[in-house]
Amino acid sequence: MADLDSTKTPASGATSGAGRFKSKRVLVSAIVGVVAVAAIAAYFAYGNPTASDAKSAAAAPAAKTVLKVGASPTPHAKILEQVKADLAKEGIDLQIIEYTDYVLPNTAVQNGENDANYFQHVPYLDDFNKKNGTTIVSVAAIHFEPLGIYPGKTASFGALKDGAKIAVPNDATNEARALLLLQDQGLLKLKDGVGLEATPNDIVENPKNIEFVEVEAAAAPATLKDVDLAVINGNYAISAGLSISTTLASEAADSVAATTFGNIVAVKAGNENKPAIQALVKALKSDKIKKYIQETFGGSVVALF
């Protein structure tokens, strides 16, 4: 019994040692496995920049295209405001810079400060380019603003006295346009053929000895208290709270003036086909904008599309 017991005891101890060794191997294998899994996870999370960067790039929002457009406050800037949301959906951030004169909007486009402008008509632009050596071109005609003759101290043409004063814009094309409108009312006669080159020096008949007061177009509404009549650009009339319904006469919506003096989107030559510019033109020549012009300006602004 003693021998048998002594024989079994070593066998039992050998078995216990083998079990402990096997357990250690399992534990080591488990630890190695965990480390390996962690290493693989770390690789895909941090060690594979291509996959990580691609995921980040996909999640990042696309950069918007900034489009800076100079405009007269009314109606141009107001019309542009109506297309901001539409352009934003196309990734274009329309920034409207308002100007109250007819020079700075063009110089800003020429020197690249702005991408486009919306305030002028082609005859004025052509004259500006000629005098300033600029290379600005029209992209599209959007609307027409009928020039109107507004009563000041005198309520009608028939009540005009000898030596009456009439204010007219002092820039070349708008002054000629004003004189042609006054000629249509029988208040003066111009030399034959002068057309859009007309100035007060081209008046050959002035039966009422009218004095023509040349003023900045933007200042014309303010002269009404001092002159008998004033010929005022549509945008400045609107800004001053004047309605075209109060005019003694205005340019017809279907007149040559309407096509000649359509207000345009203009850019520096070479930029006409930029996607953001074309998107702007498309948005402005929409049914939405035509309806807005009709409902908002009541004939003081007329859509040309």
* Cβ atoms 101, 115 nearer than 8 A: no
Q: According to the model, what pLDDT value does residue 63 have?
A: 86
Surface-to-core class of residue 73, CB atoms within 10 Å of its CB (0-12 exposed, 13-18 middle, 19+ buried): middle
Q: According to the model, what pLDDT value does residue 9 have?
A: 36
Q: For the chain, what is the domain count?
A: 3
**Integer Cα distance of 277 and 69 in angstroms:** 10
Q: According to the model, what pLDDT value does residue 59 have?
A: 53
- Which ranges in the chain belong to alpha helices (H)? 2-42, 49-59, 78-81, 84-88, 104-110, 122-132, 172-184, 234-239, 256-260, 275-284, 287-297
Q: According to the model, what pLDDT value does residue 244 have?
A: 87
Residue at a domain's end among 59, 89, 107: 59
Same domain, 114 and 200: no
Cis peptide before 75 (omega within 30 of 0): yes
Same domain, 233 and 106: no
The predicted-structure confidence for 258-269, as pLDDT tens digits, reads as follows 889 999 999 999
Same domain, 35 and 76: no
What's the Cα-to-Cα distance from 293 to each of 37, 240, 286, 296, rounded to whole Å?
67, 18, 11, 5
Same domain, 263 and 139: yes
pTM for this entry: 0.66
Q: Specify the CATH number for the domain of residue 263.
A: 3.40.190.10
Q: According to the model, what pLDDT value does residue 13 have?
A: 41
Q: According to the model, what pLDDT value does residue 50 have?
A: 53
Q: According to the model, what pLDDT value does residue 262 have?
A: 94
Q: According to the model, what pLDDT value does residue 21 have?
A: 39
- Sites in the chain below the pLDDT cut of 50: 1-47, 49, 51-52, 54, 57
Same domain, 165 and 214: yes
Domain that holds residue 27: 2-59
Nearest alpha carbon to residue 116 among 11, 302, 263: 263
Beta bridge partners of 140: 265
